Amino acid sequence: MLPYPQIDPVALAIGPLKIHWYGLMYLIGIGGAWLLASRRLNRFDPTWTKEKLSDMVFWMSMGVIVGGRLGYVLFYDLSAYLANPTLIFEVWKGGMAFHGGFIGVMLAAWWFGRRNGKSFFQLMDFVAPMVPIGLGAGRIGNFINAELWGKPTDVPWAMVFPPFSDPAQLARHPSQLYQFALEGVALFLILYIYSRKPRPTMAVSGMFALFYGIFRFIVEFVRVPDAQLGYLAFGWLTMGQVLSIPMILVGLGLLWWAYNRPQAIKTTAL
């Protein structure tokens, strides 16, 4: 069994002001995505300025934050937030849903693309390889917060999370680290390598949806579902898996259509 590293969720406290690691992970994810996008900008559109790129990153970041929070409220704990709406603003305590953030990014891409002469999938193909940076950083934030841990296990790398998080004090799968490795590192490598060659429009977006859905579906088997929801069916099906199934199907559909539609147009390497 591995010891859980006792990391204070508050990275820095200045009087009443507290800066949480969870929030810093979002800054790291957004900053890392911006740096990678800057390096690939000329291959995407040489006429775009760094200012336009910064605008795009800002609006998509707003899509992640607002969509992620609203997605968690709607998909995972609506009754609690209806009873106490002020909880919506307590984002430092966690409670962000990837699928909600993904919808927020898609809406931001559609809106920004219309204003800047780019199709929805042109922007999504460009953005997709950057998303795993934020996903990986977010999972490290979950780990530091000692939240979203896994089922009890006797594997050698199991961890006992702090009593405030897990009163049962059981050795558990560090599922946050599994998701960091799959949704962050592995997904980034897959998309980065795949997008280095010209691909048909929609193909990179399809790869993202497909592999994120697969990775999330797999990890949900060892991750404890949100207490207020539990398992939805069969004694194992979770909300995360239900929301991932459409992503897998959409990813397969986008890849098929990208390579089989008449006069498929290849995008430049990103």
Return d(Cα 33, Cα 11) in angstroms, integer.
22
The closest of 62, 67, 69, 61 to 88, measured between CA atoms, is: 69
Return d(Cα 187, Cα 16) in angstroms, integer.
38
Confidence category of residue 110, pLDDT binned at 50, 70, 90? very high
pLDDT the model gives residue 12: 87
Mean pLDDT of 216-237: 91
Per the prediction, the chain carries an average pLDDT of 90
Q: Are 161 and 4 in contact (CB under 8 A)?
A: yes
- 119 is written with which tokens? 């199709």
Q: Helices 120-127 and 203-219 sit at what angle, rounded to 10 degrees?
A: 50
pLDDT the model gives residue 203: 96
For 16, phi then psi, to 5°, come to -75, -10
| Residue bearing the bigger pLDDT, 6 or 185 | 185
Residues 6+ apart with CB under 8 A from 181: none
Which residues share a beta bridge with 14?
17
49-69 per-position pLDDT tens digit: 889 999 999 999 999 888 888
**Among all chains, which residue has been given the structure tokens 């990986």?**
136
Return d(Cα 100, Cα 185) in angstroms, integer.
21
- 63 is written with which tokens? 């899509």
Q: Is residue 236 packed enough to be buried (19+ CB in 10 Å), middle (13-18) or exposed (0-12)? A: exposed
